[in-house]
Amino acid sequence: MSALRSERVDPNAPLLGVEHLTMRFGGLVAIDDVSFDAEDKKITAIIGPNGAGKTTVFNCLTGFYKPTVGRLTLNHPRKGPYLLERMEGYQIPQKAAVARTFQNIRLFSQMSVLENLIVAQHNKLMEASAFTFAGLFGLPRYRHAEAEAVELARYWLNRVGLEDRADWDAGNLPYGDQRRLEIARSMCTEPVLLCLDEPAAGLNPRESADLNRLLTFIRDEHNIGLLLIEHDMSVVMEISDHIVVLDYGRKISDGNPDEVRNDPAVIRAYLGEEEDEELPPEVAEDLASDKSDKR
Amino acid sequence: MAYFVEQLINGLTLGAIYGLIAIGYTMVYGIIGMINFAHGEIFMIGSFICLLSLMVLGLLGITWVPLALLLTLIIAMILTSMYGWTLERIAYRPLRGSPRLAALITAIGMSIFLQNYVQILQGARVRPMQPLISGGFEIMQSGDYIVSLSYLRLFIWVLTLVLMVAFTLIITRTALGRAQRACEQDRGMAALIGINVDKTISLTFVMGAALASVAGMMFLLSYGVIDFFIGFLAGIKAFTAAVLGGIGSLPGAMLGGLLIGLIEAFWSGYFTVEYKDVAAFAILVLVLIFRPTGLLGKPDIEKV
Amino acid sequence: MSTTGASMSDTAARPLDLPAVVKECGLTALVMFALAVGMVAFYTEDVPGGLEIATRFGAVVAVTLLGFFGRLAIVLLREGRPFPVLVVALPFTVLMLVALLSLNFFDAETAETLKNYLPVGDVVVNWIVVIMAGVFTLRAFWALRHTGASAKTVVDREKAMDNFAARVQRASRFIGPLLLGIAVVFPLLAFFPDSPFVPKVDRRLLDIAILVVTYVMLGWGLNIVVGLAGLLDLGYVAFYAVGAYSYALLATHYDLGFWVCLPFAGLMAATAGIILGFPVLRLRGDYLAIVTLGFGEMIRVILLNWYEFTNGPDGISGIPRPTFFGLPFSRSASDGGETFHGFFGLTYSPIDRIIFMYYVILALALITNLFTLRIRKLPIGRAWEALREDEIACRSLGMNPRNTKLTAFSIGAMFGGFAGSFFATRQGFISPESFTFVESAVILAVVVLGGFGSQIGVVLAAIILIGLPEFFRELQQYRMLAFGAAMVLIMIWRPSGLLAHREPTIRLWRERDGGPPEKTQAAEESA
């Protein structure tokens, strides 16, 4: 395991450090030399137009893709630093405690809501069941661990308002509940960094407001870092502490919500080229050369 | 050297048969993403129909070999296609859009069904046939060892070549081929722009079955014996060929077929005949583990 | 047969488009005709010096007509005109039933002559036709009774089937012990061969029971792999073979007893599972299935050709039978020791051994079942089910997919190995013949028919698929045909298997006091 740890231990290092991340698929450059940090106890949002490479960043962080170039350092507050790009996909949540949700919800839809949350505590329970042997004979140690797991699940069910429906099949829940259940499931892995891929997609305004409360609760009460991909600006601007803007795989802006809101590069990326004539001439020139670079 | 050439000839013949069957697998996989496990059985039915047709034609007094072969070819292609079409219509169409494993289990069920269907109707015993095409050129001699290229082999190669050319033209030049390629890319979109998806898929099965029936005829002519069980091994080997060539790729299927045929021939020639089937399975496993896209297939990026 | 019956609603008033109907039925008849010309019309007969062609033109006509009228019945039912279907199908069904049943009342010779007058070929085929006609009759009858009632959608049907399966599963709390009681008690009835009050239990019945229970065990073992973990293993028979050969070789070479070898055979099979599974378990579902099939065949070919080790196609004979704590079930012990009947002061009876065998496999099967029921509620069992649902989500929760799959694969293999060594000891002889792909397919058919993950379903499926054909010998020829057809029909009708229903392995609210009662799942769904 020591190979996965980086040698330098820096108490002031950010929770997550992304340095020079580049991801190529064949000839296509999905992410081009992106660097940013995500702080502990802060909500960091990654925004950008469609196809900007946001989900690819997540997939690199959570081990679904191996980055072409780059270093992804996670400084676990208790266990020290991990180099995510060198770890197997399943080890990232297991050892470095990075959890994620998916853009298209991925629940275990034929299993019950409670079971979804118990499965999330798989590694802990496997150990408690002495890799099944203790569990097979019903030893008290395992029963105790399972009861604890249920309590953690109950806590999160209560948080997302699904306690009543704990025994439903997850696939039978309404859409908004499925979104929240997925977040609860990620939290049951007891992460230090939670990555949320468009958690507000498809939610109505009321549900969206609930989500904001849930996310700030997680940040403030559970003291973990959140990384968020979101299109819904009401969510992003309201709860984010720090925003990273991507466009065509490059980082075009980075700062707090107010800075990003007023950054001309961001406005251009979102509002498109029709606005070109209203931009200062030197910026427009930059932009033009930028575009031709990409072709 | 002479021995080598002989194995080469054997391998190319075997490869032509596997390649023709493999095209059926690869086309169906390309268009609806399922492994048509029953395709080997279609090949077996094709070869039975060829046997019956040759015998009936003989009874009717058509004994001039080229004419009998031509008629048999046409009859077998038509009747076997009906089996391919029916297979898709009653077993696979109701399962469109269901999980891959459900479709595969259905295909296995159909394979078992067809095998036993033929066993009940045509008997379980091995069916022998007199060689129809005999003679050949002597192409090589070393000592007492004479390597000849029989007319039968030549016939098989030429027929395969003709079919491949015709088939390539259908896929690249006709509306049907375009529809097929469109369905492969995106079935929903193809339907929206007015392609009759059901018909295209049906025709894919029909073409696959027609080619398999030709392979069945080649098998019958070159081995002289068939039974209801030949489809199983031939089917798996042809599937291996399709995977080796890159499933979904038509030239890949033919290339894979030739490679599997050659490997099998040389393996039997230089190592052990007994383990030739193990060789084919081992290739299947190795390709799937180390290069699941095959030689000519397109890579498949995992979507999260 | 056809899937066009999807909507028989709202069309009752529409006039029939006669040419279209004739065209549709005619096309069906044409297809059936072409299919029949290919395979039915001609067949070859062995004659001295080669083959001779023989014909069955009558059957072609029958098949074509059946195609036409069958399709016509489907069309009429679809168009909401059940009456003519009923008028034709009902008398036909009754007539055919009478004719077929009456065959039993004639002496063999007359029956043979009469069979020639049946419309299509074999008696069994005629039964199939009758059943089809019967289905049409019932559907027509149903449609007449429920005029205007719209047909059920697929979702409704699925829900109804799931409710039914749930009811069966709930009932299995009572049926299970009942079946178990019957299973435990019934061989003892063999001790009362002459009593008029007990059903006759003879050696043949016991043999069939052993066979059925063996398949129940295999089904339960495979259900761990296919039903729980969702890995379609088409080479399950390979592990059965490994178990059988492990025991046979150990017993014949080293003179070890069954009970010593049993754990070892299971271990060998599990090891084989790990070795084969390790490189391939990351493959996608359908590729994995084909690869396991390849492995199964490879192991068979190796057993067939590795003469020095396995004795090749001649197989291994003289495999010792199991003993009862060291007491053999033979007439006299070979080395002058005690025998079972001698020790207990019984008279020697060969059926003792059969009954003992039966209890051995019953115990092994029950262990498999208990293990499965228990492990479903453990983290590893839940992990298997989660992997079946969504592997990517599992990875994102820190689960090692490969190791988790590997445990399922090897545990399933282990039970296959146990069953295999039992098979070896029961037969006393094994050869590669017994371990073909067909065997894997039969086990898979048991699981598919019973329902993925349904323990009681496997039992019922094994009784139907294995037991019935043993009783009705004339069905033997059609057994595999029916297996294939059943697999297809079930996948079309209910891909999760007939009796598949999943109960959560852990509940927050107890079922009886139902948590907040107004919010139970069933209540909300029906609302």
**Any CB–CB contact under 8 A between B1 and chain A?**
no
pLDDT surpassing 50 at residue C393: yes
Neighbouring C-beta atoms of residue B66, cutoff 10 Å = 9
Interface size B-C, in CB pairs within 8 Å, comes to 173
The reply to whether C507 falls in a domain is: no
Residue (of C90, C84, C87, C63) closest to C21 by Cα position: C84
Q: What tokens were used for C59?
A: 């059957």
Residue (of B38, B3, B295, B292) closest to B145 by Cα position: B3
Q: How many domains would you assign to chain C?
A: 2
Residue (of B237, B192, C394) closest to A63 by Cα position: C394
Q: What is the mean pLDDT of residues C358-362?
A: 92
* Closest by Cβ to A102, choosing from B299, B302, B304: B304
pLDDT surpassing 50 at residue C11: no
Cα–Cα distance measured from residue C98 to residue C103, given in angstroms and rounded to the nearest whole number: 9
**Any CB–CB contact under 8 A between C394 and chain A?**
yes
Measured between beta carbons, the chain A residues lying within 8 angstroms of B299 are 26
Q: What is the mean pLDDT of residues C248-254?
A: 89
Cα–Cα distance measured from residue C139 to residue C135, given in angstroms and rounded to the nearest whole number: 6
Same domain flag for C133 and C166: no
Give the minimum alpha-carbon distance from B66 to chain C in angstroms, rounded to a whole number: 21
Domain C-terminal end among C151, C184, C202: C151
Q: Per the CB < 8 Å rule, is B304 touching A25?
A: no
- Provide the total of helices (H) and of strands (E) in chain C, helices listed first: 21, 4
- CA atoms C514, C516, C518, C524: torsion sign: negative
DSSP string, C50-76: EEEEEE-HHHHHHHHHHHHHHHHHHHH
Same domain flag for C266 and C387: yes
Domain of residue C36: give its range.
4-151
Q: Which residue of C has its CA nearest to A126?
A: C379
Q: Per the CB < 8 Å rule, is C480 touching B115?
A: yes
pLDDT surpassing 90 at residue C494: no
Cα–Cα distance measured from residue C294 to residue A177, given in angstroms and rounded to the nearest whole number: 44
Q: What is the mean pLDDT of residues C143-158?
A: 66
* Closest by Cβ to A125, choosing from C379, C389, C392: C379
Cα–Cα distance measured from residue C14 to residue C37, given in angstroms and rounded to the nearest whole number: 37
The reply to whether C89 falls in a domain is: yes
Substitution target in A113, A115, A155 with the highest count of C β-carbons within 10 Å is: A115
C100 CB-near residues (< 8 Å, 6+ apart): C118, C123, C126, C127, C130
Kindly provide the b/e burial profile for residues C378-410, where b requires at least 16 CB atoms within 10 angstroms of the residue's own CB: bbbbbbbbbbbbbbbbbbbbbbbbeebbbbbbb
**Any CB–CB contact under 8 A between A110 and chain C?**
yes
Domain B2-290 -> CATH class:
mainly alpha
Q: Per the CB < 8 Å rule, is C35 touching B83?
A: yes
Q: Per the CB < 8 Å rule, is A119 touching C397?
A: yes
pLDDT surpassing 60 at residue C495: yes
Q: Per the CB < 8 Å rule, is B301 touching A64?
A: no
Cα–Cα distance measured from residue B97 to residue B115, given in angstroms and rounded to the nearest whole number: 26
Contact A119, A107 (CB under 8 A): no
**Any CB–CB contact under 8 A between B290 and chain C?**
no
Same domain flag for C71 and C188: no
Q: What tokens were used for A17?
A: 């450090």
Supply the pLDDT for residue B36: 93
- Provide the total of helices (H) and of strands (E) in chain B, helices listed first: 11, 4
Q: Which residue of A has its CA nearest to B302?
A: A64
Same domain flag for C371 and C474: yes
Measured between beta carbons, the chain A residues lying within 8 angstroms of B303 are none
Cα–Cα distance measured from residue C336 to residue C92, given in angstroms and rounded to the nearest whole number: 68
pLDDT surpassing 90 at residue C162: no
* Closest by Cβ to A122, choosing from C379, C392, C507: C379
Supply the pLDDT for residue C193: 66
Neighbouring C-beta atoms of residue C206, cutoff 10 Å = 18
Q: Which residue of B has its CA nearest to A100?
A: B304
Taking only the tens place, the pLDDT of each residue in B116-162 is 999 988 888 888 888 888 777 877 777 777 778 888 889 999 999 99
pLDDT surpassing 90 at residue C369: yes
Question: To 10 degrees, what angle do helices B39-59 and C18-39 make?
Answer: 80
Measured between beta carbons, the chain B residues lying within 8 angstroms of A59 are 304
Same domain flag for C441 and C479: yes
Same domain flag for C310 and C423: yes
Cα–Cα distance measured from residue C276 to residue B282, given in angstroms and rounded to the nearest whole number: 12
Q: Per the CB < 8 Å rule, is C304 touching B288?
A: no
Measured between beta carbons, the chain C residues lying within 8 angstroms of B272 are 305
Measured between beta carbons, the chain C residues lying within 8 angstroms of A156 are none
Supply the pLDDT for residue A289: 55
DSSP string, B15-41: HHHHHHHHHHHHHHHHHH----TTHHH
Of A79-83, B28-32, C142-146, C373-377, minimum mean pLDDT range: C142-146
Supply the pLDDT for residue B136: 78
Question: Which stretches of chain B score pLDDT less than 70?
Answer: 299-304
- CA atoms C46, C47, C50, C51: torsion sign: negative
Q: In residues, how long is chain B? A: 304
pLDDT above 90 covers a percentage of chain B that reads: 50
Supply the pLDDT for residue C526: 45
Q: Which range has the top average pLDDT, C31-45, C287-301, C403-417?
A: C403-417
The residue assigned the tokens 């099949």 is: A169
Question: To 10 degrees, what angle do helices B100-122 and C476-493 make?
Answer: 150
Cα–Cα distance measured from residue C471 to residue B118, given in angstroms and rounded to the nearest whole number: 24
Same domain flag for C112 and C181: no
**Any CB–CB contact under 8 A between C45 and chain A?**
no
Taking only the tens place, the pLDDT of each residue in A164-221 is 888 888 888 999 899 999 999 999 999 999 999 988 888 888 888 888 899 999 998 8
pLDDT above 90 covers a percentage of chain C that reads: 25
Supply the pLDDT for residue A283: 54
Phi, psi of C344 (to 5 degrees): -90, 5
First and final CA of chain C: distance in angstroms? 35
Name the pairing type of β-strands B127-128 and A69-76.
unpaired
pLDDT surpassing 80 at residue C7: no
Q: Within a 13 Å sphere around the CA of C219, how many CA atoms are in the beta-carbon half?
A: 29
pLDDT surpassing 70 at residue C152: no
Supply the pLDDT for residue A275: 45
* Closest by Cβ to B118, choosing from C39, C280, C492: C39
Q: Per the CB < 8 Å rule, is C505 touching A115?
A: yes
Same domain flag for C187 and C147: no
Which residues on adjacent β-strands are paired with residue A29? A24
Measured between beta carbons, the chain C residues lying within 8 angstroms of A119 are 379, 382-383, 386, 394, 397, 399
The reply to whether C279 falls in a domain is: yes
Supply the pLDDT for residue A119: 92
CA B257 to chain centre: 9
Q: Per the CB < 8 Å rule, is B104 touching C495?
A: no
Residue (of B222, A293, B216, B92) closest to C38 by Cα position: B216
| CATH number, position C364 | 1.10.3470
Same domain flag for C187 and C114: no
User: Structural domains in chain A?
Assistant: 2-97+191-262 (3.40.50.300), 109-190 (no CATH)
Phi, psi of A21 (to 5 degrees): -70, 125
The CA distances from residue A169 to C44, C389, C520, in Å, are 57, 12, 11
Q: Per the CB < 8 Å rule, is B285 touching C481?
A: no
Substitution target in C30, C44, C443 with the highest count of B β-carbons within 10 Å is: C44
Which residues on adjacent β-strands are paired with residue A255? A243
Supply the pLDDT for residue A152: 92
Cα–Cα distance measured from residue C210 to residue A263, given in angstroms and rounded to the nearest whole number: 79
Cα–Cα distance measured from residue C91 to residue A166, given in angstroms and rounded to the nearest whole number: 55
10-residue averages of pLDDT along chain A (295 residues)? 48 82 86 88 87 87 88 85 86 88 90 92 82 70 86 91 88 90 92 90 87 90 89 83 88 86 82 54 55 44
Taking only the tens place, the pLDDT of each residue in B162-179 is 999 998 898 888 888 889
The reply to whether C232 falls in a domain is: yes
Chain B, window 201-220: residues with a beta carbon less than 8 angstroms from a chain C beta carbon = none
Cα–Cα distance measured from residue C412 to residue C222, given in angstroms and rounded to the nearest whole number: 6
Residue (of B162, B152, B164) closest to B19 by Cα position: B164
Same domain flag for C124 and C207: no
Same domain flag for C177 and C81: no
Same domain flag for C132 and C277: no
A72: enclosing H helix or E strand:
strand A69-76
Q: Residue A22, SS3?
A: strand
**Any CB–CB contact under 8 A between C383 and chain A?**
yes
What does the DSSP 8-state code read for residue A2?
Answer: G
Q: What is the mean pLDDT of residues C104-113?
A: 74
Give the minimum alpha-carbon distance from A182 to chain C in angstroms, rounded to a whole number: 10
Measured between beta carbons, the chain C residues lying within 8 angstroms of B98 are 491, 495
Residue (of C184, A106, C481) closest to B113 by Cα position: C481
Measured between beta carbons, the chain B residues lying within 8 angstroms of A64 are 302, 304
Chain B, window 119-148: residues with a beta carbon less than 8 angstroms from a chain C beta carbon = 120-123, 125, 127-130
**Any CB–CB contact under 8 A between B232 and chain C?**
yes
* Closest by Cβ to A165, choosing from C374, C505, C519: C519
The reply to whether C16 falls in a domain is: yes
Which residues on adjacent β-strands are paired with residue A72? A18
**Any CB–CB contact under 8 A between B301 and chain A?**
yes
